[in-house]
Amino acid sequence: MRFFSYLRVELNRILHLKVVYMIMLLTIISPIVGYNLKGNMLAQTTAYDLIIKPCIVGALISGGLFALLTLIEFYRVNKHKIGILTNSIVPHLMLNMVRMFAICIVAIVSVTITALMYFPYVVIKMEYTFDAYIYFNSFFLFMPFSVLLSILAASAFYQIFYQINLSG
């Protein structure tokens, strides 16, 4: 029960940061880069150009953006030296798990908004060859897993390398 109350507080805190909205906006516009890339001549289909290529490029860019957001959020506690205070109230592992889960929720919301924003454009451009199953399957196969794995990897590497004492 405490997990959900901590999650509510953490989501409220994260959603009040300007950097989160900037990363969400960059995630939403990241598939545009995929529309501008020149593709492989052997794979020039309409579905590849309008669905798959923007999804893959958007997954790569948004994965990097949310990994950066994860590192920023985990570093914020140590930068302001409030870790000692928060660790006395909330266990360290619980706080990190809640923080990572809140970032994952923000990531899934931004990927869903991205898929819904490009839906009308792809429907208009593909006309009668459009298939909603392929569109949503492509978006929700590439982007969420890329973003969630990058968040998980960034938080794991931060937890590992923050604990290492390099002074010998």
Helices 53-79 & 132-163 angle (0-180, nearest 10):
30
Is residue 108 exposed (0-12), middle (13-18) or buried (19+ Cβ within 10 Å)?
middle
Helices 2-14 & 92-126 angle (0-180, nearest 10):
60
pLDDT digits (tens, 9 = 90+) for 5-51: 999 999 999 999 999 999 999 999 999 998 887 766 566 777 778 88
pLDDT digits (tens, 9 = 90+) for 125-146: 888 888 889 889 988 998 999 9
Q: What distance in Å separates the CA atoms of residue 49 and residue 55, rounded to the nearest whole number?
A: 10
Q: What is the pTM of this model?
A: 0.88
Domain residue ranges of the chain, discontinuous segments joined by +:
2-161
